[in-house]
A and B are shown apart, each in its own frame.
Chain A
Amino acid sequence: MPEARATILVVEDDPEIRRFVCSALAAEGHKVVESANARRGAIDATTHRPDVAIVDLGLPDFDGLEVIRGIRRWSPMPVIVLSARSREHAKIEAFDAGADDYVTKPFGVGELLARVRVALRHAVRPASGEGALRLGPSTIDLVARRATRDGAEVHLTPTEFRLVGCLAKHAGMVVSHKQLLGEVWGPTHLADTHYLRIYMKQLRDKLEADPLRPRHFITETGVGYRLLADDPA
């Protein structure tokens, strides 16, 4: 795996949670930097220059959001947020602050490691939009603006291409409603969530094998969407 032996920053105040997160990451061969509070986390982020940061939202000194905003001022490194299930709102604020993905407590280590793997892929090789995406029975070439399903040409509208492009830029990670609306329809449509509902349905109808059980255009209820493309062959 090319993404092994990365440096990962873990900002989490609870020592028990830090212990299992860090031991799981170390077991994957990563170098782990641990910070127990937001102030320390912000410093460690600048001194250790990690490839990925994992930030708990409920920190004792400052809000985890401050850590994310701090990192975003100077780095595009992927940030994964650890959040409590009951704090839906905090999750959305985290995406506004610049987070790329989240894991809800309590989480299994497998889930966290999967997120870290996706994030590292971005850190190592930011998605450029080049090459065709493979989505089960369908392919989308964003440069040539062509889409196929089971080998046959599928017509996508310009807006649909833009939407796929925006999701593909963050492939595997979450893109919030606001981010998608802003990038595809512009800043005056940030509250028009129904645009997304309509267009995601169109994309699923055109490209998913079973639109009612999508495997590529994934809904993150209340937060946004995630595009899961198949690994390039």
Chain B
Amino acid sequence: MDIARDWKGYAAAAIAAAGCTLAGLAMKGRFDIVNIAMVYVLAVVIIAVRYSRSAAIASAATSVIAFDVAFVPPEGAFTVNDVQYLFTFAIMVAVALVISHLMEKGRREEVARARLALEAESERIRSTLLASITHDLRTPLAVLTGASSTLVEGGERLPAAQREALSRSIYGQARDLFDQVEKILQMTRLEAGSVRPERDWASLAEIAGSVLSRMGDRLATHRVVVEMAPDLPLVRVDAPLVEQVLVNVLDNAARHTPPGTVVVLRAKRAGGDLVVAVEDNGPGPGEHDLDGLFGKFRGGGEEGARGGFGLGLAICRAIVELHGGRIRAEANPGGGLAIRFTLPVEASPPPPVEAAGG
């Protein structure tokens, strides 16, 4: 097992033998030699309980030698001339073996129990995740099946407006379903460590602009205010991954706050970091565990009517940490939730030189 613990055990055995000898010398004359031997037995037991089996045996051996030298006549010499003391030695070793065997067994069982508990926990997480995935996939699939079969079987008898509504709901649900499947895949890739960020110089303002235009429909229900310092430094990041973070955080804000409320997207430099924040004016996190927002799944009621696995923020955390940044959620002072993440700012590369003339 680990060598450090073994060496500590041997050292403890030596110290214990020395300590017992000192105690024994103090007891000498007033106590019977057999009782002095008991002090050594106690030391061997303690070493066997605390350290490895080999340390226990070493303790038994050193104790017998020390005892023999210090107390068994002729004192000051190591002679095993009496069968009695051979017997003492045998008892000591037996005690050391029995105790350390019991302890090893106990430790092994403890490890096994801990492993079982861990397995049970990850099994529980897996089955909860599976249940939540199944639920969230099943609902849109049910809508897709129902709506499309209505169109297939009675399409021409339906009023045009209803046909259109059904088609639109198929389109919307299919897109949502794709997003969710994509999130599961992305989370799996991130967890497996197979996402390697391809860093290049990027402008956060630019990424944000692209996100806002890409998310047009999804953010149409809210008023998004962008507040960014005009002189933000460039960051060396994997831009598509950072774009994903912004999409997920903004999507989360739009999903959990009432339509018509304001969502603020801020970015500024703070020391060696670029700090990006998305603040909403929704009901906020309530009594929920703020750190738990970044877990792989959250309890049912929280996801709202549009579904979603709650994987979005877990993906954000993985991506931000992959870039050496941090992400956290806070209750907004004015109510609502603020999600803040940092991206490290590196020394800027040399700027281009404007060619003269042309």
Measured CB to CB, the residues of A under 8 A from B are 85-86, 88-89, 106, 108, 157-159, 161-162, 185, 189, 192-195, 197-201, 211-214, 218-222
Q: Is the CB of B208 within 8 A of A212?
A: yes
Q: Is the CB of A108 within 8 A of B171?
A: yes
Q: Is the CB of B354 within 8 A of A198?
A: no
Looking at the assembled complex, report how far the CB atom of A140 sits from the nearest CB atom of chain B, in whole angstroms: 15
Q: Is the CB of B210 within 8 A of A157?
A: no
CB of B147 within 8 A of chain A? no
Chain A residues, Cβ within 8 Å of B213: 213-214, 218
Q: Is the CB of B210 within 8 A of A221?
A: yes
CB of B23 within 8 A of chain A? no
Provide a sorted-by-A list of 7 A–B residue pairs whose CB atoms are within 8 angstroms.
A106-B178, A159-B352, A189-B352, A194-B351, A197-B201, A212-B209, A213-B226
Identify which of A108, A185, A193, A218 contacts B201 (C-beta below 8 A): A193
Q: Is the CB of B209 within 8 A of A214?
A: yes
Interface residues in B198-257 by Cβ distance below 8 A to A read: 198, 200-203, 205-210, 212-213, 226, 228, 234, 238-240, 243
Chain B residues, Cβ within 8 Å of A211: 205
Chain B residues, Cβ within 8 Å of A158: 354-358
Looking at the assembled complex, report how far the CB atom of A159 sits from the nearest CB atom of chain B, in whole angstroms: 6
Q: Is the CB of B349 within 8 A of A194?
A: yes
Chain B residues, Cβ within 8 Å of A197: 201-203, 206, 234
Chain B residues, Cβ within 8 Å of A199: 352
Interface residue count on the B side (C-beta < 8 Å): 36
Looking at the assembled complex, report how far the CB atom of A130 sits from the nearest CB atom of chain B, in whole angstroms: 19
Chain B residue at minimal CB-CB distance from A194? B201
| Cross-chain pair count, CB within 8 angstroms | 79
Looking at the assembled complex, report how far the CB atom of B43 sits from the nearest CB atom of chain A, in whole angstroms: 64
Q: Tell me, in angstroms, the Cα distance from A192 to B349 when the chains sit together.
A: 9
Chain B residues, Cβ within 8 Å of A218: 210, 213
Q: Is the CB of A88 within 8 A of B240?
A: yes
Q: Is the CB of A194 within 8 A of B234?
A: yes
Q: Is the CB of B207 within 8 A of A221?
A: yes
Beyond contacts A194-B349, A220-B210, A222-B239: 7 other A-B pairs, Cβ-Cβ < 8 A, are: A106-B178, A158-B355, A159-B358, A197-B202, A198-B351, A213-B212, A219-B209
Chain B residues, Cβ within 8 Å of A157: 354
Q: Tell me, in angstroms, the Cα distance from A212 to B354 when the chains sit together.
A: 24
- Report B167-204 CB contacts with A as 1/0, cut-off 8 Å: 00001001100100010011000000000001011110
Looking at the assembled complex, report how far the CB atom of A200 sits from the nearest CB atom of chain B, in whole angstroms: 7
Chain B residues, Cβ within 8 Å of A88: 240
Identify which of B208, B352, B357 contacts A185 (C-beta below 8 A): B352
Q: Tell me, in angstroms, the Cα distance from A189 to B352 when the chains sit together.
A: 10
Which of A161, A198, A221 gathers the greatest number of chain B CB atoms within 10 Å?
Answer: A221
Chain B residue at minimal CB-CB distance from A108? B171
Chain B residues, Cβ within 8 Å of A201: 203, 205-206
Q: Tell me, in angstroms, the Cα distance from A108 to B174 when the chains sit together.
A: 11
Chain A residues, Cβ within 8 Å of B357: 158
Chain B residues, Cβ within 8 Å of A161: 358
Looking at the assembled complex, report how far the CB atom of B33 sits from the nearest CB atom of chain A, in whole angstroms: 80
Looking at the assembled complex, report how far the CB atom of B13 sits from the nearest CB atom of chain A, in whole angstroms: 60
Q: Tell me, in angstroms, the Cα distance from A220 to B198 when the chains sit together.
A: 16
Q: Tell me, in angstroms, the Cα distance from A58 to B30 when the chains sit together.
A: 93
Q: Tell me, in angstroms, the Cα distance from A86 to B207 when the chains sit together.
A: 18
Looking at the assembled complex, report how far the CB atom of B152 sits from the nearest CB atom of chain A, in whole angstroms: 15
Chain A residue at minimal CB-CB distance from B236? A194
Q: Is the CB of A212 within 8 A of B349?
A: no
Q: Tell me, in angstroms, the Cα distance from A199 to B201 when the chains sit together.
A: 13
Q: Is the CB of B209 within 8 A of A162?
A: no
Chain A residue at minimal CB-CB distance from B242? A221
Given A106-B175, A193-B201, A222-B240: A212 in contact with B358 (beta carbons within 8 A)? no
Chain A residues, Cβ within 8 Å of B208: 212
Chain B residue at minimal CB-CB distance from A160? B354
Q: Tell me, in angstroms, the Cα distance from A225 to B228 when the chains sit together.
A: 21
Looking at the assembled complex, report how far the CB atom of B299 sits from the nearest CB atom of chain A, in whole angstroms: 29
Q: Tell me, in angstroms, the Cα distance from A212 to B238 when the chains sit together.
A: 20
Chain A residues, Cβ within 8 Å of B202: 193, 197
Q: Tell me, in angstroms, the Cα distance from A198 to B175 when the chains sit together.
A: 35
Looking at the assembled complex, report how far the CB atom of A145 sits from the nearest CB atom of chain B, in whole angstroms: 9
Chain B residue at minimal CB-CB distance from A201? B203
Chain A residue at minimal CB-CB distance from B205? A212
Chain B residue at minimal CB-CB distance from A161? B358
Q: Is the CB of A213 within 8 A of B209?
A: yes
Chain A residues, Cβ within 8 Å of B356: 158
Looking at the assembled complex, report how far the CB atom of B156 sits from the nearest CB atom of chain A, in whole angstroms: 18
Q: Tell me, in angstroms, the Cα distance from A212 to B266 when the chains sit together.
A: 12
